[in-house]
Amino acid sequence: MIRTYPAPFGANLRDEFTVRVRPVAGGEWQRLDTYRVKVDMHDVREGSMAYFDMDEPVEVEVTINRFYYIYTAAIRPLSYGIEPVIEPKRLTFRLEKPANLSIELNKERFHNLHLFAGPIEDEAAEREAADVVIEPDRVPGRIGTFDPNSALESLAQDPDRQGRRRRIFVEAGCYGIAEIVWHVPSNVDVYLAGGVVLQGTIVIDHAQNVSIRGRGVLDMAFLAKQTGLGGIRIDTSSNVTIDGITLIDPPHYSVCGGMSHDITIRNLKAFSCEGWGDGIDLMACTDVLVEGCFMRNSDDCIALYGSRWKWRGGTSNVIVRNTTLWADVAHPINIGTHGDHEHDGDVLERILFENIDVLEHHEYQPGYLGVMAINPGDKNTVRHVTFRNFSIEPFEHGRVLDLEVKFNPTYNPAPGRLISDILIENINVMTGDGEEPSIIAGYDDDHPVENVRIVNMRRDGKVCMTLEDANIELRDHASGVRIEGAVRS
């Protein structure tokens, strides 16, 4: 089965490509609408995005609607091994299972097609189970207003529903969130059907038991950077799930979590094109799972911090897996910058990144390089971190690894305290012209790096037996660094 979702009136679309899918077993071609996504704050350009769901192998066809011809094509992540059949104005390929892909013609990475194939959802069952169904404005050519909280309040006052979770199903259509920001209360499950476009942002503040799921799009491209609004903010909340939706061009972070716990972020797709347009930033959060996501951001794709702004505490028990990271600016992964510098700093620990594809790292500022960056400042300690099973594709400019205890005067009133017990395992680096040497370094004798183990790191398929093989510089105030049996202490 294939399920497609026509875009509603009011959606921001592009027509550079015609995209169609059909079952490999036979059937009619089905056309996908392609949305506009803006990328790369260095020089903002428009890419395309389309999505559908599948539960069987499919054939995908992409036809060019512009003047140019196809000479080369890449379907990334390259680790998926998908090879297209190329014609002058068309390409096709077979997709065996759901995947989040970038389709790049003639080495063009900014006007590319992002194609998201998800697992089939039972939208009929979700609608049937809903307490509130939100329908679009039926007046042709008009965008509806989205303001469901009055209906939720009525349900909360019903004595027969006390203590029950309330379910909202949003039907396909384009809606403007009333007053731009929707504050979701506790015990609410929201399902955004395929073909939904919500214009505005979502805040989950001092709430519990909230989910935002479905196939819909949260579009913030109309918001000015000066608003500082992000896509979804999870503030002092617990048991929160974000699953399956797409966020387009928020002025600030795509997802921001502060002093929250038990968070699941699954199959999220996010784009940004503004400065400080991070993907997922977590501050003083615990017990977090991020999986199956595709993050293309104009700042750190995933950043883990301690205390920042009003949020206090360390960050721990974080798992990020089966995820694709594309940093048009800054780091794909950044850990440790912010903490409680006014006291004794924070501890960031028990962190796992596993099965990660890195499609880009593009940064020239020397203090912000690193696909895998652990840079504690503010008296922070970062320990017990594992990076496992990475495929790092050739990037524009940066370094693979940056383990440095830092004092960054732009952000840190004090240096970090310690990096310790880091495992870097099964990392495959495809080399390119833009790679600077990786660095492992403490700040001074009292602020060191300790116990780093590098296992089975490969560069262009060749196992690295020494730090020199791995293009890693071991600098001062670092001890216990081992690679394939080579130890310097």
Which residues make beta-bridge pairs with 378?
A: none
The count of residues in the chain is 489
Is pLDDT at 271 greater than 50 in this prediction?
yes
Report CA Rg, the chain. Answer: 23
State residue 314 phi and psi, 5-degree precision: -85, 180
Q: What is the rounded (10 degree) CA torsion for 288, 293, 294, 296?
A: -20
Q: What is the pLDDT of residue 162?
A: 67
- Taking Cα atoms as reference points, which of 172, 285, 304, 295 lies closest to residue 234? 285
Sign of CA dihedral 297, 35, 77, 245: positive
Q: What is the pLDDT of residues 3-32, one digit of tens each?
A: 999 999 999 999 999 999 999 998 999 999
What does the DSSP 8-state code read for residue 366? Answer: G
pLDDT in tens, 121-153: 999 999 999 999 999 887 777 888 888 887 777
Report the C-alpha gap between 440 and 405 in whole angstroms: 9
What gap in Å lies between CA 10 and CA 424, rounded to an integer? Answer: 46
d(CA 401, CA 353): 14
Which whole number is the average pLDDT over 177-181? 91
Predicted local confidence at residue 225, as pLDDT: 84
Query: What pLDDT, on a 0 to 100 scale, did the predictor assign at position 489?
Result: 45
- Which of 454, 440, 439 lies closest to 387 in space, CA to CA? 454
The pLDDT tens digits for 214-240 are 999 999 999 888 888 999 999 999 999
- What's the CA gap between 8 and 199, in Å, rounded? 12
pTM exceeding the 0.85 threshold for the entire prediction: yes
Q: Are 359 and 321 in contact (CB under 8 A)?
A: no
- For 292, list phi and psi in degrees, rounded to 5: 65, 30
Mean pLDDT, range 321-338, rounded to an integer: 98
Q: What is the number of other CB atoms lying within 10 angstroms of the CB of residue 137?
A: 16
- Tell me the backbone φ, ψ of residue 336, rounded to 5 degrees: 110, -5
| H helix and E strand count, the chain | 2, 44
pLDDT value at 203 more than 90: yes
Alpha carbon distance 283, 305 (integer Å)? 5
Q: Across the strands, what pairs with 367?
A: none
SS3 129: helix
Share of the chain above pLDDT 70, in %: 98
Condensed to tens digits (0 to 9), the pLDDT of residues 453-488 reads 999 999 999 999 999 999 999 999 999 999 985 455
State the residue for tokens 């310097």: 488
Of residues 94, 20, 98, the one with CA closest to residue 62: 20
CA 216 to each of CA 269, 307, 416, 474: distance values in angstroms, whole numbers, following the listed order: 11, 32, 41, 47
Encode pLDDT of 380-420 as tens digits. 999 999 999 999 999 999 999 999 999 999 999 999 999 99
User: Cis peptide before 185, with omega less than 30 degrees from 0?
Assistant: no
Q: CA-CA distance, 382 to 118, in Å (whole number)?
A: 35
Phi-psi region at 173: left, alpha or beta (left = phi > 0; alpha = psi -120 to 50): left
- Backbone φ and ψ for 255, nearest 5 degrees, come out as -135, 130
Three-state DSSP at 63 gives: strand
Q: What percent of the chain has pLDDT over 90?
A: 89
C-beta pairs of 465-468 under 8 Å, 24+ apart in sequence: none
In single-letter form, the type of residue at position 215 comes to R
Distances (CA, A) of 202 to 107, 130, 239, 409: 36, 20, 16, 33
**Please, how many CA atoms are within 13 Å of residue 67, restricted to the half-sphere of its CB?**
0
